[in-house]
Chain A
């Protein structure tokens, strides 16, 4: 018995490949400290200098006894649910129209979604605040039409938050749902038609029925993303005192005097628990999405439904959705960028238009620095993630011994909402006492940790598409494992890795919340600069920088979608 155990263990050790061991150590080193620091600071007194004091449950006790805690929880739930529903309805409607019908102008939807992927969150949110704010054109129009006083729409409310966050996610919902509708064999719908079902019966019973698992999974995904979102809660929620979990953490850290790191950490721990539960449920639901995949014979044909007399109404809808979701906000930003001082749209403001803001932004050393920093940060993070993910993804997909642990470790950062991960690393960097705090390197490290799960997923899916026999053939032909990986796997994996790189790049440069607590004067990035502009009321500069940045990002997001669609890789 003892001998047998000893033997089996020695063989396991021998079978563990060095790359799995190195990766496991690396992943542990990157994700364990944030957990430890967050938990530790939530359970200890902190003095103003940041040093840890006595052990305490006080932070949690204060939270649970606070009168606002319940309303924060309810707000968080309502906000996330509302955003998920709105994004789902808009995204599903677009996806169905674009993939399953002969509605006119379908291509408009793809173009609009690609552009919207490149718009920084802050810019998009600011656009809606300008549009729907008290002095905004929409309220002015409603007041002009219906008379009366007081704004008709208050964007600084839970409803306003849901509206903006829902719209923010709708392009991604569309891009993720369109393959669901595209890959469904048309004969399912044709069968319903033969059975006597009309357009709407077929849509209700068959199309939506079959897409239900995918819709549920996507709804849950947006729910999770909204729960951990920071930008809308901070920019739209806080001014109206509608607080959710993420904005409460931010408030405790930056708006309260003195900053309450202990209480913020305690909120962070609570949010981690919520996220862990949600992600667990999501994993179950997502695993069910393939349940309805059935044999589709040689006769597979994705075919379109003839809308008949509805065709042009659908075409109108197809133009209207991107118009509201993309064109109107961008036009608002452009308007703001061209004005020296912001004022709502009016004819008499036309003589004021000019390129002053653009000149200022492009001539300023610090803004140009922010643009360069963002590109360097995105490029470095994307390159590191892609390189590590290629090896780790191969290990996981090929089930190398020890890779299960690797898979679990790599997924752990997902439970950290960006603002909480930023907080945890803030504490690490502060206590590390080195010069790393506030440097661009610190932002790269945090981004690599945060986006590794996405990179790994891309690489893993890419490897799965490569049949193991291709590697085995290389081995038979005399190649060693490393040689087979470089000569056979990597070339075939290249499309997946390119889209992985672009995806991580887009995530890294778009994020505000991850960087907000960490960026220093020497590591200013565009997303944080936009956030600061808004807080300082510099709308013109914000809009001008935003326009320039959106133009640059559209190039990247277009490249990403082209690669992803060409090689049928996931977009989310």
Chain B
């Protein structure tokens, strides 16, 4: 559907100047594709380049085999001819128009098409109904609440059946509860309409919940592309591992590596840790062991045996009860290990054993960023 090839746009020369470099990715039909990264990583620049609101300095882009940008043949299709839908971070709902007129605008702008009032009305109202806004059609857009403006922005983006839906942090202006509700609804609508979507966010939980695939961006480059599962469970470098989800990272020298079953032993400050490299990885060197807080197993000292392979003795230093789980900080040899425990309860300053199951402990490279 969308094909992006070696897209580059530099605001200032040098690594620190911002912009994007050599961005390539493909979005398939009906896919929900997310560009995830911290602010300033270039994700919004990428999206705006796809939209036609920015002109990249080099690269090539096609939508459904139509070339919309090609620096070598000097093709740049302006935004208003790309037939896209876009939801802006600020919604950009026009306050001087009614809800109906906002939604009807893209239809009125369609080239070479004259709409009868009845057709137009039917089409707009159908879209508004899908968004639950039909009752507000005649109201001024400025009178809508944040969540309603959000849905209106979505209605406007979808009404003309765009080839691609672009979403620029659309949920960031909503309060927490509404955000979760809209997240579910957004996903449902996108699947229902069947439109391909490119979604930009800095919120990793949004990205994991919504996406078919995620491209993690850092300093103007894409550092990993994968499904939410792959991104979370098999990050290919330290940046992805620490940006997506929380993690305990233990740096150290690689002691041995078995290419057959991808198992590695890393000398960390706690002692040697046995872990596994991700699928298809070349030898991880130099290395770090990574384990998610929810995979760390906490056991009482009594009855769980002496420290051994991946098992270390520590002391609980902080306890935070979160409701569905309890979070602990366990100090092992002056290293803080974050643990998320579901069962059992430990008091502060209690001595405990922590265990890193080798199959859940990932050996990753430090220098791939």
Contacts and interface: CB of A to CB of B under 8 A. Distances in A.
Contacts, number: 102
B108 to A, nearest CB: 9
A195 B160 contact: yes
Given A194-B51, A299-B168, A292 B96 contact: yes
Contacts of A188: 92, 94
A92 to B, nearest CB: 16
A198 interface: yes
A309 B94 CA distance: 28
A187 B88 contact: yes
B14 interface: no
Contacts of B153: 191
A197 B142 contact: no
Given A190-B53, A292-B95, A299 B106 contact: no
Interface residues of A, number: 28
Interface stretch (B3-11, B76-84, B311-319, B361-369): B76-84
A206 B94 contact: yes
Nearest to B81: A196
Contacts of A297: 88-91, 169, 172-173
Interface string B69-105: 0000000001111111110111111111100000001
Contact of B109 (A195, A295, A298, A300): A195
A209 interface: yes
B88 A299 contact: yes
B105 A294 contact: no
Nearest to A211: B96
A194 B85 contact: yes
A206 to B, nearest CB: 6
Contact of A291 (B94, B95, B105): B95
Nearest to B141: A294
A202 to B, nearest CB: 8
B38 interface: no
A209 B86 CA distance: 21
B95 A195 contact: no
A197 B172 contact: no
A312 interface: no
A76 to B, nearest CB: 32
A5 B339 CA distance: 68
Contacts of A488: none
A197 B109 contact: yes
A212 B97 CA distance: 12
A295 B80 contact: no
A292 B142 contact: yes
Contacts of B111: 196
Contacts of A293: 95
A215 to B, nearest CB: 12
Contact of A195 (B52, B80, B90, B142): B80
B172 to A, nearest CB: 7
Contacts of B92: 185, 187-188, 190-191
B80 A298 contact: no
A384 interface: no
B78 A193 contact: yes
Given A210-B96, A298-B172, A192 B105 contact: yes
A444 to B, nearest CB: 45
B146 interface: yes
Given A196-B106, A299-B169, A190 B79 contact: yes
Contacts of B96: 209-210, 212, 292
Interface string B27-71: 000000000000000001000000111000000000000000000
A296 interface: yes
| Chain A to chain B: the 8 pairs with minimum beta-carbon distance, closest first | A196-B109, A297-B90, A195-B106, A191-B92, A187-B92, A299-B89, A292-B95, A193-B79
14 contacts: A185-B90, A187-B92, A191-B92, A191-B156, A192-B105, A194-B86, A194-B166, A196-B106, A292-B96, A294-B93, A295-B91, A298-B89, A298-B172, A300-B90
